[in-house]
A and B are shown apart, each in its own frame.
Chain A
């Protein structure tokens, strides 16, 4: 599974068709295609294993053993298909996973999704495998042949020809001919590489993507789940505000009335101490105001509404316990709820960084690509952040998923920690 997430070459920020940049983009595209083909080879091998298992189970059905093993087949097929879905989602349109396969052979066969997965298994285990092997052979042979003149003399004399070369190599001219063949192979891959990668992925994109009605029901299930999470997050937020108002400003104000009442009593009865009580009442009222300000800021910071996300984040970074750099590029304005979510996620993440990470530097990067806002918060701390411990990350996630966004946390022990958030900008 070599495929890593990369920006597709077409969406790079700069539109200038500078020659050098064009070549770089092409080279990048070819490299990606090779990575995809090798990744596809991995899942194709898995698909082949799945196919062999299917055939084995079918054959042993004759002696009865296969009937016992049959229920494993849909599970095996589904797990291979889910791997391919994950792989394809990393470099193209997302293909939603389907979860566990139906229990029982009959239910599985009645499920159109399972039937489509079986078709895909057959195609990917043959065509996908062939394309992956062909690409690997092309590239390996091209490299071997092009470099051949440099090392052919080091080979034992009786077997001087590399693989796929049909003439004997006796002198430098023969060796250079091999190199020429290597160039030919490289040109072949240059011409065909991206097409092969696309062809290899095509059956998966067609057959593993949910059909329209299934897509809809999956989407509904996902929306119901995120909506419930949104309501939970909302209720938790209200509880937090209620608690901070009650424990803070409200109690302070009650204390003010108590102190004022006591002071008035003292004045009316000409007892000493009224001045002292009034002073304490005033101090307490000031505390109440400060606490109200804090609560208001935590609901929606005024700077966010007035000046936008960039300035609000700069303010956060300035108050962060760890030196923090903010890098915001051509952001424009997003929907208020999206900006607020991005702000609170950053605030929470920076709080976590100053509390737990022991980092020396943190970076907040915000970019806007098309309709999506991507937010990345990195630190060079000790890592080991875990979503299962501490409700902060869970709260962040439900807040983000409520907006149909995505959160990815990478925090190996020893660090560094990276939090990637993607949010739709809204209109």
Chain B
């Protein structure tokens, strides 16, 4: 897997590169600004780009724009966006053109190396990785009449993990339940929320995220 990193903090940039190289992943370039990042993407045609949201010159959301631009230049590029804090508005902007091959995670998740590598591989393989924090924001901001309150506590757990982009096996491992139980919960969730059932993880993420966004409280 060929990786390009865009992160303006030198310590963090080298830390992430060190970690990935220790896992025998191929970090082909590390960059510190949107421009050098896009140049590196053009030059190296990587499989995955890991991009920090806050970068020069204004240190606001340059990373999001750079990620969107990189995907426009190289369709099929998997992008994992890292951020010091998650903002659902950034997620919405990023996911507007579909959720496949996209990830949006808090920076400190990198320290949970196992889960971070899972997310990286999932995104590279065409899936999605959404930070639990974003999902939590979406869940708490939904309207009270959205149908979510019809879900059981366990079904809400499953819904949250689905929204993060996890597949059935991963969900069953996280919640220590059988694959059959996960399957049953998911069918029940889709029925209660009036969503068309699907087993493909990426379509599920889209459906669930869109559902959550549409049912958000206004204002």
Q: What is the interface of chain A, defined by CB distance below 8 A to chain B?
A: 243, 246-247, 250-262, 264-266, 271, 273, 277, 284
A264 to B111, CA, bound (A): 10
Question: Is B191 interfacial (CB-CB < 8 Å)?
Answer: no
Residues of A within 8 A of B18 (CB): 259, 262, 277
CB pair A254–B84 under 8 Å, yes or no, is: yes
Q: Which residue of B lies closest to A251 (CB)?
A: B9
A265 to B116, CA, bound (A): 12
How many Å from the CB of B179 to the closest CB on chain A? Answer: 27
A365 to B12, CA, bound (A): 45
Residues of B within 8 A of A253 (CB): 108
Knowing A250-B84, A251-B84, A265-B113, the reply to whether A258 touches B22 (Cβ < 8 A) is: no
A260 to B12, CA, bound (A): 12
Residues of B within 8 A of A273 (CB): 22
CB pair A261–B9 under 8 Å, yes or no, is: no
Question: Is B101 interfacial (CB-CB < 8 Å)?
Answer: no
A258 to B17, CA, bound (A): 10
**A-B CB contacts (within 8 Å), total count:** 58
CB pair A261–B116 under 8 Å, yes or no, is: yes
Residues of A within 8 A of B108 (CB): 253-254, 257
Which among B110, B112, B116 is the interface contact of A254 at CB below 8 angstroms?
B110
A257 to B116, CA, bound (A): 12
Residues of A within 8 A of B54 (CB): 246
Knowing A243-B59, A265-B23, A266-B22, the reply to whether A255 touches B15 (Cβ < 8 A) is: yes
Question: Is B11 interfacial (CB-CB < 8 Å)?
Answer: yes
Further contacts, 16 of them, CB under 8 A, given A255-B12, A258-B15: A246-B84, A247-B59, A250-B84, A251-B9, A251-B84, A253-B108, A254-B84, A257-B108, A257-B111, A258-B110, A258-B111, A259-B18, A260-B111, A261-B112, A265-B113, A284-B11
CB pair A271–B22 under 8 Å, yes or no, is: yes
A273 to B15, CA, bound (A): 13
CB pair A261–B22 under 8 Å, yes or no, is: no
Q: Which residue of A lies closest to B110 (CB)?
A: A258
How many Å from the CB of B213 to the closest CB on chain A? Answer: 27
Interface of A is mostly: helix
* CB-contacts of B164-216 with A (<8 A): none
Q: Which residue of A lies closest to B107 (CB)?
A: A254
**Closest 4 A/B residue pairs (Cβ):** A257-B111, A261-B111, A262-B19, A261-B113
Kindly supply a per-residue 1/0 record for chain B positions 86-102, scoring 1 wherever the CB is within 8 Å of any chain A CB and 0 otherwise: 00000000000000000
Residues of A within 8 A of B12 (CB): 251, 254-255, 258
Residues of B within 8 A of A261 (CB): 19, 110-113, 116
How many Å from the CB of B27 to the closest CB on chain A? Answer: 13
Knowing A246-B54, A254-B84, the reply to whether A262 touches B9 (Cβ < 8 A) is: no
How many Å from the CB of B86 to the closest CB on chain A? Answer: 13
CB pair A262–B11 under 8 Å, yes or no, is: no
A266 to B111, CA, bound (A): 13
A336 to B116, CA, bound (A): 47
Knowing A246-B54, A257-B110, A260-B111, the reply to whether A265 touches B22 (Cβ < 8 A) is: yes
* CB-contacts of B41-86 with A (<8 A): 54, 59, 84
Interface of B is mostly: helix
27 examples of A-B residue contacts, CB within 8 angstroms: A243-B59, A247-B9, A247-B59, A251-B11, A251-B12, A251-B84, A254-B12, A254-B110, A254-B111, A255-B9, A255-B11, A255-B12, A255-B15, A258-B16, A258-B110, A258-B111, A259-B18, A261-B111, A261-B112, A262-B15, A262-B18, A262-B19, A262-B22, A264-B113, A266-B22, A273-B22, A284-B11
How many Å from the CB of A112 to the closest CB on chain B? Answer: 47
Residues of B within 8 A of A277 (CB): 18
Residues of B within 8 A of A250 (CB): 84
The winner among B54, B108, B112 for most chain A CB atoms within 10 A is B108
A357 to B67, CA, bound (A): 45
Residues of B within 8 A of A271 (CB): 22
Residues of B within 8 A of A246 (CB): 54, 84
How many Å from the CB of B189 to the closest CB on chain A? Answer: 32
A379 to B162, CA, bound (A): 65
How many Å from the CB of A287 to the closest CB on chain B? Answer: 8
Q: Which residue of B lies closest to A252 (CB)?
A: B11
* CB-contacts of B98-128 with A (<8 A): 107-108, 110-114, 116
Residues of B within 8 A of A258 (CB): 12, 15-16, 19, 110-111
Residues of B within 8 A of A256 (CB): 111
A243 to B19, CA, bound (A): 27
How many Å from the CB of B10 to the closest CB on chain A? Answer: 10
The winner among B15, B110, B112 for most chain A CB atoms within 10 A is B15
Q: Which residue of B lies closest to A253 (CB)?
A: B108
How many Å from the CB of B165 to the closest CB on chain A? Answer: 20
Residues of B within 8 A of A265 (CB): 19, 22-23, 113-114
A41 to B150, CA, bound (A): 87
The winner among B19, B23, B84, B111 for most chain A CB atoms within 10 A is B111
Q: Which residue of A lies closest to B117 (CB)?
A: A265
Kindly supply a per-residue 1/0 record for chain B positions 1-42, scoring 1 wherever the CB is within 8 Å of any chain A CB and 0 otherwise: 000000001011001101100110000000000000000000
How many Å from the CB of B198 to the closest CB on chain A? Answer: 34
Residues of A within 8 A of B9 (CB): 247, 251, 255
A284 to B54, CA, bound (A): 20
